[in-house]
Structure 1
């Protein structure tokens, strides 16, 4: 496929066309990548599915877009690392079965991208349910056994990754700045002005000093650089900025250099319970959902506004990584399904009391056949969704990738 290199960063007014092209081409890379970027197709399927055909879970905060790439190592303010959910753009108070189905679809498409036989997909669904249900049985550690290779690698990397390495990624020569290119684009004068005001505000200072790494409350904070960040897939096109900050006027020391991630929050498309009471402000919704589902990350986030739009802010830590599960063996696929389902189950279970956990565990087991350990509602959902997305993926490739003059991303 011929490619047209992006030789200079685009003007803010020209971003959208480039971002849309990048998103379409990124989704064409594989069926698994298409699933990650086509959240609306998944939500449309949920809205068209009879509610009675799925178990109705308790009203809790759910991720809403619970695919593999939205889980990974996350550090808390003290540096403790755990595998948790790490993306909350679509978080709502809704049916927890939606997260389970989304994860099952993601795993099934990863298996297909790895050329694994269909029987492995069936077995993955069985161990996925086993791992998820274990989170709702008090004292049941499931004996999960050896972590999947992708999780072991991510955790090992996270534990070893240092502030020096994170700082080195953003330093160019003798000047500390964000390198402009295909990922980072120039911010406008107005964007720089408002971002400077944001990072110097009292709430941002509190997040940077009191909430993270025990910096001094009166530490001097200076914005060194900022850039528009072309990052993600389904969220491409929203406001996204990287902000490099100096703390205590010692930018040469990695411990006093930090990177803020500013991201726009828009109305969630994920189905929610109609009578659920959620914050009206989308940034507040995202942060509230994160604090319920992933305490490590949620405690490090701030809801605010930028350019008259709701945004949420977090300081990026060296340990924050995402899982990459694209080509796996049969054994690794089964380990990943069990382990990641347990992670999602724990995120849900921590919001329920013991009685609610028991009731949800019982509800999950309904419609389980004599010949298949996976509940029939989940198996039907995955089969239907895989067929739906495979067909749409091929059409997407024909429309956007065939003969396209691509922008490298």
Structure 2
């Protein structure tokens, strides 16, 4: 419980911020308690006064100091600790487009965001809040929700950092689709407006109302334009016909010497040399047993119905490529498959600016951040330390997940999706931060929304310059990239 209480303290508004004085670096538990006890109207007024120090229009500003930031140096620094043979795949995927580059360079933007204006209000931040990290997923009760679904970088941090990363992703996505910058900016403003509007609504709700709030598939369909809603319904019906592991089983497995195992598809899915050694299976079983101890007791009972079959490494995502990611196949007595994913967890990219996590284990940091931000989390979410002290978090590989097919979006769909993402982010921030102070700071005007439109355009240009720098580094042989995988 001590870690939960310490994390909660990180979200409080220091009274010295409210008075315009220099705040303490880390709010104390006493400060947190005082902030939580203040009436919502008082906190709203306090948020409004923050505009005197950081006007809403200030958030539109973006200019990087070339003397302080070398994008290639920061990208290479993020290679540390990754599997060397997989790093060229990471750069190959980033070279696909400026939007793909943006997805793979969260650490670079985190360094840039550290120099931007902030109000002084913190939330549990996603840390890598771009539009591809939202989507549908099934809850333990088998309902489908629309929400955030990637928390590798989560950490208590300024709320502005998440919304800024999110709005930029819409401008870059619009450009990747061949849409005009005007339409890209419109989507960014729509996202910020939705965040702003929903935050003001959440500020009026009781804590339990906010905690239990969720965005259901019915909400998504009700607000969707007719054509968009019809496509979504078809995808939803198809996804829910079978469980995630049932979908993955024929695709990921094969029969070898009369035994079921995970199929090697190198270099994206493979059994490392160590996986063929006699001691590998007992090692995986020990890892599973340690992971089991991080689950609630009822989930341990569920996991006990499955036995280990096989484990292999899998390349996932863009920014995560090179981090160790294992998929583990376990099966029930009746031969029903279940795939678990064990993904390496390292320090959040936000830590240099926001401070270290209060959790001793980065897998635990990811799990706790996810539980704080999501309305419902994966049934088997847990963490474990593997061989060599490498930290992992674990979950089901896929459970009725619905990812956005951005490449199929038209302007109407992108605009609608921007509004939905803004709503989701507001819900997550309202659940973990001081929603009354944030709403008070945002106010009733569209000043912040328009500022986000301007920032999104300016930083999208920056991301494209950094993408060009990566292409140059690859041409010069400074960075090796495999673009044919």
TM-score, structure 1 normalization: 0.81
User: What is the aligned partner in structure 1 of residue 185 from structure 2?
Assistant: 122
TM-score, structure 2 normalization: 0.69
User: What is the aligned partner in structure 1 of residue 292 from structure 2?
Assistant: 204
Q: 2:287, 2:351 → 1: CA distance?
A: 32
Q: Is the 8 A contact 1:364 1:375 kept in 2?
A: no
User: What is the aligned partner in structure 2 of residue 46 from structure 1?
Assistant: 113
User: What is the aligned partner in structure 1 of residue 162 from structure 2?
Assistant: 99
Q: 1:312, 1:405 → 2: CA distance?
A: 28
For residues 9-408 of structure 1, what are the structure 2 equivalents within 5 Å?
16-49=83-116, 51=117, 54-57=118-121, 59-136=122-199, 137-138=201-202, 145-146=223-224, 148=228, 152=233, 155-162=236-243, 163-173=245-255, 175-182=259-266, 183-187=268-272, 188=274, 189=277, 192-199=281-288, 201=289, 203-204=291-292, 207=295, 210-211=298-299, 215=302, 219=305, 221-248=306-333, 250-251=334-335, 256-270=336-350, 278-297=358-377, 300-307=380-387, 308-352=389-433, 356-365=434-443, 368-369=446-447, 374-376=449-451, 378-400=452-474, 406=482, 408=484
Higher helix fraction: Structure 1 or Structure 2? 2
User: What is the aligned partner in structure 1 of residue 208 from structure 2?
Assistant: none
Q: 1:203, 1:16 → 2: CA distance?
A: 23
Could you tell me which runs of 5 or more consecutive residues in structure 1 were left unpaired when the two chains were aligned: 1-14
User: What is the aligned partner in structure 2 of residue 8 from structure 1?
Assistant: none
Q: Is the 8 A contact 1:292 1:298 kept in 2?
A: no
Q: Is the 8 A contact 1:304 1:311 kept in 2?
A: yes
Q: How many residues align?
A: 375
User: What is the aligned partner in structure 1 of residue 57 from structure 2?
Assistant: none
Shift of 1:405: 8.0
Let me know the Cα RMSD of the aligned residues. Answer: 3.1
Q: Is the 8 A contact 1:60 1:95 kept in 2?
A: yes
What secondary structure, in the 3-state scheme, does the structure 1 residue paired with 2:83 have?
helix
* CA offsets 1:107-146 (integer angstroms, 9 cap, x no match): 1100010111111122112211222123320489999721
Could you tell me which runs of 5 or more consecutive residues in structure 2 were left unpaired when the two chains were aligned: 1-81, 206-214
Q: Is the 8 A contact 1:18 1:407 kept in 2?
A: no
Q: Is the 8 A contact 1:94 1:272 kept in 2?
A: no
Shift of 1:91: 0.2
Q: Is the 8 A contact 2:139 2:376 kept in 1?
A: yes
Closer/same/farther in 2, CA of residues 123 and 380 from structure 1, 3 Å limit: closer
Closer/same/farther in 2, CA of residues 365 and 386 from structure 1, 3 Å limit: farther
